[in-house]
Amino acid sequence: MIMKNNDTLDIMFLGGLFPKELEDEIITKSKGTIQYAANAVQWSLVKGFDKAAGSIKVLTAPLLGAFPVGYKDLFIRSVKWRHAQGADDKAVR
């Protein structure tokens, strides 16, 4: 896509990365393997998109194990967060 002068491109990243605000809680409550590699790749993509297109929006459903075998809680709380200044992101489950 060719962009002209003041045209902007809105990008929303849909994924399973862990917001920094929930990372400690996710690690503490996980019973099995934590998807560290998938989380790292997705954070790299978000940072790359930010660099290329300006601040993007992130909607994530963190990659967690299934309750009760892989995760201690049936639900995790949805949170609004910011991966960068001016960003408007949401984590859902």
Confidence at residue 16, expressed as pLDDT on a 0 to 100 scale: 96
More confident residue, 34 or 2: 34
> Which pLDDT value is given to residue 71?
94
Average pLDDT value over all residues in the chain: 89
pLDDT greater than 50 at residue 6: yes
Cα atoms found within 13 Å of the Cα of residue 7, Cβ hemisphere only: 6
